[in-house]
């Protein structure tokens, strides 16, 4: 791939339809991530490096395997699953990134995103987490369709809706802009992988 070819990036905002995802502190995950992914789509569209594709534009539910199939059909060189997190303990907070074992490209992108988390959404460790089947079954299931198709992928959990401070931040326009910047800095890793 030359530097003049845009890198196809597939965006998959989670949930949709009857699958709402987490609902807490004025955040409904399926709506939040769809709006966020749409904004990210247009930011990527306006760059010279990326050619974005998106799994859903509205409130429909796209199965995990269908998302993988769509990514494959658009020849994606990278997939980003976008979610909002939840925990029974409302003190748990922060942005998290996950990749699957053996995915070196996903590991690099996840690490860059985690290092550039917005202030207030950073975690004690800025390292991304490898999604192992036994330890993180939901993460494993989200990323597996891309693994099957040999598409490097990352799952980003933008923050915890169940944490009041995180929820307030996620609803703040400035923080949403910072999160978009966080993702762009992570995706810039792809330029070194696929560019010349």
Residue ranges per domain, the chain?
7-194
Q: Among 3.40.630.40, 1.10.3720.10, 3.30.365.10, 3.40.50.150, what is the CATH number of 7-194?
A: 3.40.630.40
Q: Could you give the percent of the chain with pLDDT greater than 90?
A: 85
Contacts of 135 (CB under 8 A, 6+ apart): none
Residue 4 has pLDDT above 80, yes or no: no
CB atoms within 10 A of CB 130: 18
Q: What is the pLDDT of residues 97-146, one digit of tens each?
A: 999 999 999 999 999 999 999 999 998 777 888 888 878 888 999 999 99
Per-residue confidence (pLDDT) for residue 2, from 0 to 100: 45
pTM of the model: 0.95
Tell me the backbone φ, ψ of residue 43, rounded to 5 degrees.
-65, -45
The mean of the pLDDT values for the chain is 94
Q: Which region, left, alpha or beta, applies to residue 34 given φ > 0 means left and ψ of -120 to 50 means alpha?
A: alpha
Confidence bin at 26 (pLDDT 50/70/90)? very high
């Amino acid at each position: 791939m030359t530097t003049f070819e845009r890198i196809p990036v597939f965006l998959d905002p989670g949930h949709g339809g009857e699958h709402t995802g987490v609902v807490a502190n004025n955040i409904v995950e399926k709506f939040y991530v769809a709006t966020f992914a749409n904004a990210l789509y247009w930011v990527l569209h306006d760059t010279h490096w990326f050619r974005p594709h998106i799994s859903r534009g509205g409130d429909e539910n796209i199965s995990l395997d269908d998302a993988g199939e769509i990514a494959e059909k658009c020849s994606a060189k990278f997939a980003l699953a976008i979610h909002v997190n939840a925990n029974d303990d409302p003190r748990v907070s922060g942005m998290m990134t996950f990749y699957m074992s053996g995915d070196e490209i996903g590991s690099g992108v996840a690490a860059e995103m985690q290092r550039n988390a917005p202030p207030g959404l950073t975690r004690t460790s800025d390292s991304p987490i490898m999604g192992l089947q036994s330890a993180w079954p939901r993460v494993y299931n989200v990323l597996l369709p891309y693994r099957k198709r040999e598409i490097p992928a990352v799952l980003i959990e933008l923050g915890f809706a169940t944490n009041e401070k995180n929820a307030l931040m996620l609803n703040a326009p400035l923080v949403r802009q910072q999160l978009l910047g966080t993702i762009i800095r992570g995706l810039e890793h792809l330029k070194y992988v696929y560019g010349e």
